[in-house]
Structure 1
């Protein structure tokens, strides 16, 4: 009898809670009072915008209480709505203080989100964020070599700024090697040079690959310049070709090597034809082209696999490959072993596949 009475007492409250806690509705009314208020969303407001380099802007963002600060060098998913379509992209942020972060974005040709952020985003605009991820964080006990190309400088800037704020920039040998096309493409140049001037253990070299008196792209000669390489941690970030070259030069020689590619300059491929992909969870068989990512092929079949960065970094699209052969579109590596984890955003099918989707 007591249990029955208690149950009857709880039912109206339960009904009220389920009826009222519609997060979308709550957020709508909260944001009428303050655009950063939310019951569950990590939001940030653009409070300042400036150019960091040619076609590259830095947005200073004020974050709300739901925003999760990542470690320096990690990446954040960012959700942006452009012309009514919601997109997710991944960027590295730099923490400025306990309420502000810096988002630096370089415009990418035909890039919907990067174009919107560089050309249209303005003070007062609101951005939504996901949970930070990535393991390119500073090892405190090793010499550090940072290799960056283009907008791959943003996680390196985040790492260096964090070290500088903690008075650790001179605690270990740190070398930054930074490749850009032209003089005006070098972001944060004055800051790097200032840090190098006051911290003897920190050095910076900037290479300009498309000026009249141009510098060489990353190669064996640059690797030979690095002292104590076998004791060092080497981090590389840039286009896939740059990251692939860094892996070739340093993966077997450095004590620690980590790399990230922020764009897919695809490996050469002459793949033609179609393959069948069996989706074990969906109980479907679809036909997709061999020469493009599995993710793109599945999307063309009106399927919507979970994904995030589309660059092979965030691991949201990873699934188990039970059977079949694949090729990595970033470096050309092939894999025909069964039972492997497969990033469908940066791998193409080379044979019929069975995957756990």
Structure 2
């Protein structure tokens, strides 16, 4: 993984919704590394004197003079940043990294599907694509709980109005009966909605990002609609789901032993449980930022039978040596682990 460690200076902070905030940064040394729209950075902070880190997708585009991260107030590190990170502060960052972007995975007519905070890479990719192809044919469907939870709502509407090739829709789980704006798409994203919003679905490449349950439901829906697997590109926030072909060899109520080779300590790990979750449950500290199998910060070396749900940032040589991403790896039996 190629990335840079640098110190960022916060030059702006803006509330996007009741629980989502964006921060804008420049580099203290005056030079921000080149970035691809959709990539992530890892922010480092301290909570109660203990170092903590978390990976966040940049919501800024490569054309912007600064970096922007847009963070929902959920989780310990994110809550801490909401409470403490102010204009004028400095924070250490690593990055950028990640392969989920339209530059690495280009197509002529993308369909962007997102939910919740999953809009952040899509917003960056949409703006970058339109900067390079102002007349691009793009469909953008975003799902949220309510109108108050839609991130970048005003900016997205303005961008779509300025670019006739962009058609966007908001799918809202609920709206007030007396809402001043009529929302035609209420409920959860369905096959019928997709067919109407993107009738040429099978001729598009789909870029998908959001919480794990949304990702599973929508990827299953797309497969049932006949979208070829090669036309689906996805990134999730949260632990990846165990694939159907990765069934453990033990009974569901059984467990395996994860042995830490340096200390000899044995940790229980359940079938389908990630190495990271088992370690944290046992009180073991491990560096983990994205928790979604994309940043590579939780690399460990294993011995034994395992299943990888992500191999992002890992080289063929590392895979041969047993290197895994603890946040997206499960055990099929007793294993050894060196972190």
**Normalised by the shorter chain, which TM-score bucket?**
0.7 to 0.9
Name the residue aligned to 1:246: 218
Structure 1 contact 150–179 (Cα < 8 Å) conserved: yes
Name the residue aligned to 1:83: 48
User: Based on CA coordinates, which of the two structures has the bigger radius of gyration?
Assistant: 1
- Of 345-354 and 174-183, the range deviating more from structure 2: 345-354
TM-score, structure 2 as length reference: 0.77
Name the residue aligned to 2:39: 74
Uncovered stretches (5+) of structure 1, i.e. residues with no partner: 1-39, 330-337
Q: 1:82 to 1:212 in 2, by over 3 A?
A: same
Q: Mapping of 1:294-333 within 5 angstroms?
A: 294-299=275-280, 303-319=284-300, 322-324=303-305
Structure 1 contact 145–234 (Cα < 8 Å) conserved: yes
Name the residue aligned to 1:233: 205
Describe the superposition over 1:95-117 as per-residue Cα deviations: whole angstroms up to 9, x where unpaired: 47564122111111xx2221122
- Of 145-154 and 43-52, the range deviating more from structure 2: 43-52
Uncovered stretches (5+) of structure 2, i.e. residues with no partner: 178-184, 311-319
Describe the superposition over 1:62-85 as per-residue Cα deviations: whole angstroms up to 9, x where unpaired: 223454232001111111223322
**Following the alignment from structure 1 to structure 2, what is the Cα–Cα distance between the partners of residues 83 and 287?**
26
Structure 1 contact 276–285 (Cα < 8 Å) conserved: no
- Bigger relative contact order, structure 1 or 2, given CA contacts below 8 A and separation 6+? 2
**Following the alignment from structure 1 to structure 2, what is the Cα–Cα distance between the partners of residues 249 and 68?**
38
Name the residue aligned to 1:344: 326
Corresponding pairs, count: 304
Q: Mapping of 1:1-357 within 5 angstroms?
A: 41-65=5-29, 67-93=32-58, 94-95=60-61, 99-108=65-74, 111-138=75-102, 139-166=105-132, 168-171=133-136, 173-212=137-176, 215-225=186-196, 226-250=198-222, 253-254=227-228, 255-264=230-239, 271-278=252-259, 282=262, 284=264, 286-290=266-270, 292-299=273-280, 303-319=284-300, 322-324=303-305, 342-354=324-336
Aligned Cα RMSD in Å? 3.2
TM-score, structure 1 as length reference: 0.74
1:262 is displaced (CA, Å) by 0.9
